[in-house]
Amino acid sequence: MPTVTATHASRHLPGLLDAVAHGETVTITRSGRAVAEVRPAANVSTAGALRRALAGLPPLDDDLEADIAAATRLLTQDPGPWRAG
């Protein structure tokens, strides 16, 4: 795990981020004391990951699907008293 000063980190941020993207954890120091660690993100969510997760779920039952459709219609079709029309 490399250690760099805050000054070095600010001047060389693109290179530091490249190292982190390749799996390294970097410790940043100020006045000789560790103040931060920059590490790869644990689980970055993407739309593709969501689609894959949802694809593995069983289909909705008819009643739940109808309830969701009805609620969606209420939210998208009826402005109600709270929205200017």
pLDDT in tens, 2-13: 999 999 999 999
Measured in whole angstroms, the distance separating CA 11 from the mean position of its chain's CA atoms is 26
In this structure, the chain runs to a length of 85
Q: CA–CA separation, 27 vs 1, rounded Å?
A: 7
Q: pTM (2 decimals)?
A: 0.50
pLDDT digits (tens, 9 = 90+) for 12-45: 999 999 999 888 999 999 999 999 999 988 776 7
* pLDDT score of 81: 67
Q: Where are the alpha helices (DSSP H) in 2-78?
A: 6-11, 13-21, 47-55, 62-77
- Which residues make beta-bridge pairs with 27? 3, 37
Asked whether the beta carbons of 26 and 48 are under 8 A apart, the reply is: no
CA 85 to centroid of chain Cα atoms: 34
Higher pLDDT, 81 or 60: 60
